[in-house]
Amino acid sequence: MESNPILEYLPLYIVLVFSICVHETLHAYAADRCGDPTARFLGRITLNPLPHIDPIGTVLLPLAAMVFGAPILIGWAKPVPVNPRNFRNYRRDDIIVSLSGIAGNFSLAIAAALLFRVVALLPLSGVIPVLLILRWLMRINVVLGVFNLIPLPPLDGSHVLLHFLPLDLAARYRRIAPFSFLILLILLGTGILWALLEIPMAIIDALAGL
């Protein structure tokens, strides 16, 4: 009987959706704490995936990756709406909100790695599926964290970089936004993106004892 690739990827997809929901929930929570309740009013401070689903990033892209047997799934959710005019300190709070989702992904990866090390010591054959899920949590969250750190608008890393650029240079920098997707495809196709992942992947594997 021929296997169904989508069913085989289903646990991995659940891990991906959970991870991107954590990312967006932390953006929404950080914005609320910094004085902007917009995302809270829209019900975005939740791990329920329904308010976060983006038709392309949460559904179509991961589905295509499953069908074509991609080595790892990647995706995104709807961006959390933020009104920076509500921030108490615009520069500081925009940086905090931008980095909150990334910090959440890296924290998840570290927690999963440390838990992997503990669970791997248990003499039970039934822990193998748990170890597999923890390893996916590690890897997917490292990918999401590094991906969002890339300083290309509108990724989170670009919001941080903008605050350290002179005003005239920042205005020019914003103009590359229409080309960001093409640049990301080039980074992916040339292997540069995977090279950026090598060191953080090695660190998280070492934490897990792999």
To which residue do tokens 């969250």 refer?
Answer: 141
Nearest CA-CA partner of 55 in 63, 47, 44:
63
Which residues make Cβ contacts (< 8 Å) with residue 45, sequence separation at least 6? 25, 28, 29, 32, 39
Q: What CA–CA distance (Å, rounded) separates 94 from 36?
A: 11
CB atoms within 10 A of CB 168: 8
Residue of 2, 8, 24, 198 marked active site: 24
DSSP of 163-195: TTS-HHHHHHHHTTGGGHHHHHHHHHHTTHHHH
56: region left, alpha or beta (phi > 0 left; psi from -120 to 50 alpha)? alpha
Q: Confirm whether 8 is a catalytic residue.
A: no
Which residues make Cβ contacts (< 8 Å) with residue 47, sequence separation at least 6? 18, 21, 22, 25
Q: What CA–CA distance (Å, rounded) separates 18 from 46?
A: 11
To which residue do tokens 């170890």 refer?
Answer: 131
Catalytic positions, written as ranges: 24
